[in-house]
């Protein structure tokens, strides 16, 4: 559009050299107050903003991070992304957001793309497919550029991470139901080979075990991990001979669909069935009934991830490779004691 205003234009207007103009921006203490004053004024008047490419060429940073996640439509991510963004912002950084739909190809494409754009680091958000071959490229990348994983972790690697203790979260959820007197607790899980599903299953099993309830694999329904999957899971269970009295779902979003299915068939929650979700998405406080769930503190998770990647970028010492966030039970209205 318009010709860009350069440091040269400012220098001419101020009758000084470009070096002085540069100095008022980078080492303002080394320039005389009046000169500084004058130059600052002129920069404002002419709406000067330094060319980021030129600066980047020299400083080799553009204060930008690339955030890679499965899909922003998953309700867990918006608050998490806000946490990241707000925090990056306060450090003077910005973030690109990239949706991969869990496709490793897309992920690799984005990585190439953004290495080309000289980002300062990568944040990988969300659970990852199991298997080394899906994660090898991250190990490679980690040698070139600062990266961090959020809500997943590659054991035995030296990749930094911030994640919820999901095993414990699932344990707490299941235990809550058991303490309420439920013994027949169905678990609605996702059906892909993702670490998060493994963790939650572990926690669920362990809670049963610790309470001498035998694990029944028919009680585990694996489907699509969203509200539709939750609905279908409900339909499937109600049509089957499985008769749980309570449900633990892998995500809040699944819980929503499940609850719909239950109501749809004339049941009441928590009157007939208790439901515990997982995530802590603020929205579901306003579900009917208010969803009892495991809070993963998505916003806080994002903040911690942002702080950590910035530290890594700045070469600061990090205490622990893996930061664990302990989840907490939020009791709302979707559970009831089972008495019979």
Q: Does 117 bind a second copy (CB under 8 A)?
A: yes
Q: How far apart are CA 122 and CA 196, in angstroms?
A: 21
Side-chain half-sphere CA neighbours of 251 within 13 A: 27
Window contacting DNA (CB under 7 A); options: 13-21, 102-110, 190-198, 263-271? 13-21
Which partner from the list a second copy, DNA, none does 327 bind, CB cut-off 5 to 8 Å by kind? none
Window contacting a second copy (CB under 8 A); options: 17-25, 185-193, 215-223, 254-262? 254-262
Pairing mode, strands 328-330 and 293-295: antiparallel
Q: CB of residue 32 vs DNA: minimum separation in angstroms?
A: 4
In the chain, DSSP finds a helix count (H) and a strand count (E) of: 12, 12
102 and 70 Cβ atoms separated by less than 8 Å: yes
Subset of 28-87 contacting a second copy (CB under 8 A) = 49-54, 56-57, 60, 62, 64, 71-73, 75, 77-79, 81-82, 85-86
Tell me if residue 161 falls in helix, strand or coil. Answer: strand
Q: How far apart are the first and last CA of the chain?
A: 75
Q: Does 228 bind a second copy (CB under 8 A)?
A: yes
Burial class, 267, CB count within 10 angstroms (exposed 0-12 / middle 13-18 / buried 19+) = middle
Q: Does 141 bind a second copy (CB under 8 A)?
A: no
Which partner from the list a second copy, DNA, none does 157 bind, CB cut-off 5 to 8 Å by kind? none
List b or e across 168-178, with b for residues whose CB sees 16 or more CB atoms inside 10 angstroms.
bbbbbbbbbbb
Q: Does 3 bind a second copy (CB under 8 A)?
A: no
User: What are 31's two structure tokens?
Assistant: 């320039």
Q: Does 314 bind a second copy (CB under 8 A)?
A: no
Pairing mode, strands 274-276 and 160-164: unpaired
Q: Does 8 bind DNA (CB under 7 A)?
A: yes
Which partner from the list a second copy, DNA, none does 75 bind, CB cut-off 5 to 8 Å by kind? a second copy
Q: How far apart are CA 96 and CA 115, in angstroms?
A: 12
State the residues that interact with a second copy by CB under 8 A.
1-2, 4, 49-54, 56-57, 60, 62, 64, 71-73, 75, 77-79, 81-82, 85-86, 94-99, 112-118, 143-146, 227-228, 230-231, 253, 256-257, 259-260, 263-264, 282-283, 285-288, 290
Binding positions for DNA, rule: CB under 7 A = 4, 6-8, 15-20, 22-23, 25-27, 30-32, 35-36, 48, 50-51, 53-55, 57-59
């Amino acid at each position: 559009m318009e010709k860009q205003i350069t440091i040269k234009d400012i220098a001419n207007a101020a009758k000084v050299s470009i070096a002085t103009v540069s100095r008022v921006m980078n080492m303002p203490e080394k320039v005389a107050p009046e000169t500084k004053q004058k130059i600052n004024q002129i920069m404002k008047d002419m709406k000067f903003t330094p060319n980021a490419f030129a600066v980047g060429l020299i400083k080799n940073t553009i204060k930008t991070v690339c955030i890679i996640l499965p899909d922003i439509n998953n309700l867990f991510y918006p608050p998490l992304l806000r946490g990241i963004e707000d925090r990056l912002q306060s450090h003077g950084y910005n973030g690109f957001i990239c949706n991969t739909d869990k496709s490793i190809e897309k992920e690799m494409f984005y990585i190439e793309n953004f290495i080309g754009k000289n980002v300062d680091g990568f944040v990988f958000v969300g659970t990852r497919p199991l298997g080394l071959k899906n994660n090898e490229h991250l190990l490679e990348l980690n040698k070139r550029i600062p990266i961090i994983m959020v809500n997943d972790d590659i054991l035995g690697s030296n990749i930094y991470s911030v994640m919820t203790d999901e095993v414990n979260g699932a344990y707490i959820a299941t235990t809550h139901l058991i303490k309420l007197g439920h013994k027949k607790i169905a678990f609605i899980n996702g059906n892909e080979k993702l670490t998060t599903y493994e963790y939650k299953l572990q926690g669920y099993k362990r809670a049963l075990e610790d309470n001498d309830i035998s694990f029944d694999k028919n009680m585990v329904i694996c489907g699509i991990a969203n509200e539709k999957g939750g609905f279908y899971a409900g339909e499937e269970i109600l049509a089957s001979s499985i008769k749980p009295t309570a449900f633990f779902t892998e995500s809040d979003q699944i819980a929503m669909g499940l609850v719909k299915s239950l109501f749809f068939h004339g049941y009441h929650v928590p009157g007939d069935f208790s439901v515990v979700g997982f995530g802590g998405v603020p929205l579901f406080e306003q579900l009917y009934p208010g969803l009892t769930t495991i809070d993963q503190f998505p916003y806080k998770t994002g903040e911690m991830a942002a702080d950590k990647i910035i530290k890594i970028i700045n070469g600061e010492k990090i205490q622990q490779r893996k930061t664990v966030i302990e989840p907490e039970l939020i009791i709302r209205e979707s559970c009831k004691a089972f008495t019979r």
